[in-house]
Structure 1
Amino acid sequence: MMTSQTETRSTKPTHTVYVLKPQADTEQADWIRVGAAWEHGDKDGLNLSLNILGQNVPVVVRKNKPKT
Structure 2
Amino acid sequence: MSSKSKATAPTHAVYVVEGEGDRAFWTKIGSGWRHDDGDGFNLRLSALPLDGRLIIRKTKAKSDAEVGQ
TM-score by length of 2: 0.54
Residue 59 (structure 1) aligns with: none
Identity of aligned pairs, percent?
A: 43
Q: Which has the higher contact order (CA 8 A, sep 6+)?
A: 2
Residue 12 (structure 1) aligns with: 9
Residue 63 (structure 2) aligns with: none
- Number of matched residues? 47
Larger radius of gyration: 1
Structure 2 gaps, min length 5: 49-69
Give the structure with the larger helix fraction. Answer: 2
Give the structure with the larger strand fraction. Answer: 1
TM-score by length of 1: 0.55
Structure 1 gaps, min length 5: 54-68
Structure 1 segments, 4+ long, off by >3 Å, are: 7-10
